[in-house]
Structure 1
Amino acid sequence: MARQSLVALAVVPVLLVAACSGATSEDATPQDGGTLVYATGDAEPTCLDPHVGGNYPQALISTQYLEPLVGRSEDGTILPWLASAWEVSDDGLTWDFTLENGVTFTDGTPFDADAVRVNIEHLQDPDTGSSTGYLAVQKVASVEAVDATHARFHLTEPDSALLESLSQQWTAMESPAGIERGMDANCAAPVGTGPFVVDSWTPQQQVDLVRNDDYAGLDPEAGHDGPAYVEQIVWRFIPDAATRYAALRSGEVQMIDNPQPDAVAAAGGDSDIALIDAPRPGASNRIELNAAQAPFDDIRVREAFVRSADIDAGIDTLFAGTVQRSSSVLSSVEPDVYSEPDLFTVDLDRANELLDEAGWTERDADGYRTKDGERLTVRFPVSTNQSVAAEQSLFEQIQAGAKQAGFDVVLTPLDLSGWYAALGAHEYEAVSAPYTKVGPDVLRILYHSDGTVPAPSGYFANHAELTDPALDDLLDRAATTSDADERSELYQQAQQTILESYTVLPLYDQLNRFLVRDAEGVRTLNTVATPTFLDARVLS
């Protein structure tokens, strides 16, 4: 079989992160052993197996006990991890992965080619209810276990994003014996090859992780060989940002995520607290307008909404100088990012002209525009688990600006399950829906017409409901080409098409920020920017 090198296909983004960080008082010393307490403000997962569903809170915690086939360096190079090498056929339809020999899952099950096959089939099984992982491996027709250390992927069509997809936590490898236990047992305690093991889960309180003393040490960017330094991680669920920050300041916890902007701003001048800033790859944080139903099935109304939203003023007021405005659908860390700032300048006069042209010429007693007796209403469900308080306040400022143009924006705070239900029932005209995937192929997931069809979990990713054959063609060609320059150009064209459709209002990069105290050696992976505690030490 003819082969070509990996380099010809692997076009990956650069992630700019604080690779290693920690802070404490000057007389503290690092210790081996001990317990590190992490407090998260993200929604508590309903399942600790990231194959099931596939949201970011699952990626955060599963980084500690599940490992992917490949990793990524800071400059975007794909690195060996559980797979030590790979080759791809000239037609792009066959990938041969050489696996690390002698690795076992923490339940003693061998990690081998058959385990890889089981994992891909688990992701593709409708009963698993996967979304993110399911979409990542859609083009894998089958996995053949050639022998114990060689797994052969057969694809339905070339996939230029395959390695990027296999670097993510949502496609990380799990013990086949663990999967065989059934969903309930596997959700409660997935079994991986990582540096920690799920010991127990107390819902609405914490997950206890213990050290894997037999860790094989395959993390390609580990700072040391062998098992983790800390013996235990207590993964606490503290939804309130002020309470999390107080716990950090008091020494009750060593690390928190989702800090408020004022805490981020203060961290720079506080010698006791260090900031890790790790923007997520893939898509920016953005508001998507549902083009499949009124009133946003009219591009004039979509542009009017965008022109009435003063995002810059809200960012300046609410985020204490800690974020930068985006005018792209891709994260700023993606090399292929394309921006058109002029599309998003505030122009209330233009917004009013567009709405008049669209027939929304009357106003009711409350000042909202009407047409044929119907108010110009925009339902906007807000996930309180995914949007920090400052972002929710930003949505309120957008609501106020849009009212000047005559929009009645109805903000509805919901927990994560309620938010998913509203999206699934198409009970929205606008939504901020964070989505993380390594590389520009995220555009295909989010804006290809195929993305309007739900995954087995019931989740569909194309919330803008874009169904543009020309855009589909650009994304299809980008996903199948092996030419890096062509891929980049196609993704640039696709972004221009998306932005000019006015179905997206970019906000800023998806913010992954962590504050650390009384610990050192914490770093984030250059895949989906999740923290790993393999090199971490508690300071005392």
Structure 2
Amino acid sequence: MQKKTFKRAAQLRRSLYGFLITGVLAGGAHAEQAATTPQKGGNLLVAIDTDPNCLDPQQAGNNNSLNIGRQLTDSLTDQDPQTGKIVPWLATHWQVDDNNRRFTFTLRDGVTFSDGTPFTAQSVKDNFEAIVKLGAKASLASTYLKGLKQIDVPDAHTVVISFDQPNAQFLQATSTMSLGFFAPKTVNATAEARCQGELTGTGPFVLKKFIHNQKVDLVRRTGYQWSSSIAAHQGESYLDGVEYRVIPESGVRFGSLISGQLDVNVGVTPQDEALLLAKKINLIARANPGLVYSLFPNQSNPLMADKQVRSALNLAIDRDALKPVLSRYQNVATSVLAKTTPLYQDLSAQLKYDPQGAEKLLDQAGWQRQANGIRSKNGEPLRFTISYWQSAPFLEVVQQQLRKVGIDLQLEKAPISQVVARQASGKLVVDFYNLTRSDPDVLRTVFDANGRNVNKRAPGEVDKLLVQSSETLDAQQRQQDVTKASSLLISEGDAIPLVELATIIGTGQNVHGFHFDASSRFQLYDTWLSAKE
């Protein structure tokens, strides 16, 4: 049995600015920030590069939406970004019994939703059961609750969550905004209404306005008193509010931050980093744990059903050649998992550049070069399209590399809503994205043949390994399962790892206390503004 107790002493031993040790703070002035007394008031103006699409953190999966949703809701636990330790938040302590099958949480007193409704053990039960009903719409959260057997509510401050099998990843999952909490009127609303802003949470901010492709406005939650045990202060947030502005043009974001019209630029591009540093703009960066940017072949498509073609994709990509277009804070992939993910192991030996080997595989598979340099078979060109919305200049380099071996990769950048719809259709020949989570169970979320099954493939050995890794309590065995599963995903061509995502954010010198959580998303509760010079 494990037992964790609520300890505010940890908060007193740690200043807010210790969080920034996990990232990179450049541009100066952080010593001054640490010595300055936080001030209350002001609206933080944040530029994001794409429409958040869906604001419900129980449903959403893109970084902009989750970074907004984190401000609206709290979680049972929190995860220390420095140590990875799970610490108290809405739960003061917990017990884990029956070989990680039963989790008993004791809840804090006095927590309410922003409409005044009390947060109780029944709230936990209702939210988690609603997530299970959302199914695929809750693309992350539903996998965290896979195998949920029952939820018991002995009293208003005690909730017992039981699973059919051991669940090694669940405690970390309770620290995510995907398992955050909302009032009954949100739980009972339609999934679409929740996406569009029907969200009444427990968090330090309240949603005021959401206009697609324009802005999201949040205001301070009056009476908030239940911050995480690793927060730097207690009580209400320092900020009066937060305004997220959707600004797709990187040049506009850059100029607005330099001129002081914006406080934060969430979408700093690699080419702007040196100029921002020269202008004494703070750059805060942290490598995202979880699944790296990868190509995911759809094996239900005849083209990608051929393992030789999938393997050729991997061999044809020179990852070192992607470095010139990356941020100084990014790295090329060395596994399907990023280096900051627990249980990561370097598998770069499986990602070596071998264009001759790629050509040999394609020849063996019957794909012959034509006069235009592109291969074809039975009159069909070796061509597929990637739809994406992210800033990913390295894809153009990948496009050039694949063309050298006769593969015609077409790139289609589109609004996030269109890309999400295409991904949901399951008809893309090759998918492209990353997924952030500070636990290796992120692999099961994406690849499980009985779950999301991004490859549309039949169950196999990798699925057994992923399930085993989510259940085992033996740390050494879990490491072996995760490593072997990662290796198989590469060797079978289920994942073509490319680049590790790093979150790089520029802030004005008037912005203080801005920090990342363990999953490299940001929490604005401790953020505050000083007067602009």
Q: TM-score, normalised by structure 2?
A: 0.89
| Structure 2 counterpart of 1:315 | 323
Q: Give the length in aligned residue pairs.
A: 513
Q: Does the aligned pair in 1 maintain the 2:72–2:202 contact within 8 Å? A: yes
> Letter of the aligned partner of 1:474 in structure 2?
L
Separation in 2, partners of 1:341, 1:232: 44
**Cα distance change on mapping 1:412 and 1:442 into 2, 3 Å:** same
Q: For the Cα contact (< 8 Å) 2:269–2:327, is it kept in 1?
A: no
CA offsets, 1:454-509, max 9 Å, x none?
xxxxxx3x323344521122111111111222211211111121122233222222
Aligned to 1:371: 377
Q: 1: distance between equivalents of 2:444 and 2:31? A: 49
Q: Is the 8 A contact 2:24 2:283 kept in 1?
A: no
1:153-174: CA deviation from partner (whole Å, max 9, x where unpaired): 1212111000111111111111
Whole-Å separation in 2 of the counterparts to 1:268 and 1:363: 47
Q: CA deviation at 1:5?
A: 4.8
Q: In structure 2, how many angstroms separate the alpha carbons of the residues matched to 1:484 and 1:163?
A: 15
CA offset digits 1:355-376 (Å, max 9, x no partner): 111121x333322112222221
Please give the alpha-carbon distance, in whole angstroms, between the structure 1 residues aligned to 2:236 and 2:457: 47
User: Are 2:298 and 1:290 aligned?
Assistant: yes
**Superposed counterparts of 1:502-513, under 5 Å:** 502-513=493-504
Distance 1:67-1:342 versus aligned 2 partners, 3 A rule? same
Deviates more, 1:411-420 or 1:516-525: 516-525
Whole-Å separation in 2 of the counterparts to 1:416 and 1:242: 20
The answer as to whether partners of 1:522 and 1:531 remain within 8 angstroms in 2 is no
Equivalent residue number for residue 147 of structure 2? 139
Maintained 8 Å contact 1:306/1:502: yes
Describe the SS at the equivalent of 2:122.
helix
**Where do residues 89-488 of structure 1 align in structure 2 (5 Å cutoff)?**
89-126=97-134, 129-180=137-188, 182-183=190-191, 186=194, 187-271=196-280, 273-316=281-324, 318-319=325-326, 321-360=328-367, 362-381=368-387, 383-384=388-389, 387-388=390-391, 391=392, 393-451=393-451, 460=452, 462-488=453-479
- CA 1:16–1:43: 2 relative to 1, 3 Å: farther
Provide the rounded CA distance (Å) in 1 between the counterparts of 2:403 and 2:175.
43
* 1:492 is aligned to 2:501: no
More displaced stretch, 340-349 vs 530-539: 340-349
Cα separation, partners in 2 of 1:372 and 1:171, compared to 1, 3 Å: same
For residue 269 of structure 1, report the CA deviation from its aligned partner: 4.2
Aligned-residue CA RMSD (Å) = 2.6
Percent identical pairs in the alignment equals 27
1:254 Cα deviation (Å)? Answer: 0.5
Gaps (5+ residues) in structure 1? 8-13, 452-459
Tell me how far 1:264 sits from its aligned partner: 2.5
Would the aligned equivalents of 1:447 and 1:466 in 2 still touch at CA under 8 Å? no
CA contact (8 A) 1:55 1:132 kept: no
2: CA distance, partners of 1:471 / 1:52 = 26
* Native 8 Å contact 2:57 2:70 kept in 1: no
User: 1:42 and 2:50 equivalent?
Assistant: yes
Superposed CA offset, 1:397-454 (max 9, x none):
2122211211121222222222223223333332222222330011111222113xxx
Contact 2:288 2:502 in 1 (8 A): yes
Letter in 2 for 1:50: P
Q: CA deviation at 1:257?
A: 0.7
The residue type paired with residue 222 of structure 1 is A
Q: Which residue of 2 aligns with 1:61?
A: 68
Q: 1:321 to 1:533 in 2, by over 3 A?
A: closer
Give the residue type in structure 1 aligned to 2:302: A
Following the alignment from structure 1 to structure 2, what is the Cα–Cα distance between the partners of residues 299 and 127? 31
Q: What amino acid does structure 2 have at the position aligned with 1:410?
A: Q
Q: From the superposition, tell whether residues 25 and 276 of structure 1 become closer, same or farther in structure 2 (CA, over 3 Å).
A: closer
Structure-2 separation of matches of 1:257 and 1:193: 25
Tell whether the 8 Å contact from 1:168 to 1:527 is kept in structure 2 after alignment.
Answer: no
Q: Which one of 23, 27, 31 corresponds to residue 18 of structure 1?
A: 23
Tell whether the 8 Å contact from 2:322 to 2:397 is kept in structure 1 after alignment. yes
Distance 1:288 1:232 in 2: 39
**Distance across 2 between alignment mates of 1:426 and 1:107:** 39
Separation in 2, partners of 1:32, 1:512 = 27
Q: Is the 8 A contact 1:23 1:516 kept in 2?
A: no
In structure 1, how many angstroms separate the alpha carbons of the residues matched to 2:216 and 2:134?
Answer: 27
Contact residue 190 and residue 198 of structure 1 kept, 8 A: yes
Distance 1:82 1:264 in 2: 38
1:216/1:227 contact within 8 Å kept: yes
Q: Deviations over 1:335-369 (max 9, x none)?
A: 31122223222222222111111121x33332211
| In 1, Cα distance between equivalents of 2:103 and 2:31 | 51
What TM-score do you get using the length of structure 1 for normalisation?
0.88
**What secondary structure, in the 3-state scheme, does the structure 1 residue paired with 2:331 have?**
coil
CA distance in 1, matches of 2:360, 2:21: 42
Secondary structure at the aligned position of 1:163 is classed as: helix
Distance 1:15 1:35 in 2: 22
Q: CA deviation at 1:263?
A: 2.0
Name the SS for the 1:201 alignment partner: strand
Greater relative contact order, per chain length (Cα 8 Å cut-off, separation 6+): 1
Matched residue of 1:214: which SS?
coil
Among candidates 37, 50, 58, match of residue 51 of structure 1: 58
Query: Quick check: 2:517–2:523 contact (8 Å CA) kept in 1?
Result: no
CA contact (8 A) 2:152 2:161 kept: yes
Over residues 58-114 of structure 1, what are the superposed CA-to-partner deviations in whole Å (9 max), with x where a residue is unaligned?
211011121111101121000111111111222432211111111111111111100
1:351 is aligned with what amino acid? A
- Describe the SS at the equivalent of 2:141: helix
Deviation at 1:299, TM superposition (A): 2.1
Which residue type is aligned with residue 325 of structure 1?
Answer: V
**Structure 2: distance between partners of 1:106 and 1:421:** 32
Are 1:516 and 2:507 matched, yes or no? yes
CA displacement at 1:182 relative to structure 2: 4.9
Cα distance in 1 for residues equivalent to 2:20 and 2:273:
20
Alpha-carbon distance in 1 for matches of 2:4, 2:30: 46
Residue of structure 2 in register with 1:456 after alignment: none
Q: Mind listing any 5+ residue stretches in structure 2 that lack a counterpart? A: 6-18
**What is the distance in 2 between the residues matched to 1:39 and 1:200?**
16
Cα shift at 1:33:
0.9
Contact kept, 8 Å, 1:68 with 1:173, in 2: the verdict is yes
Aligned residues of 1:379 and 1:427 also touching (Cα < 8 A) = no
| Cα pair distance change 1:21/1:264, threshold 3 Å | closer
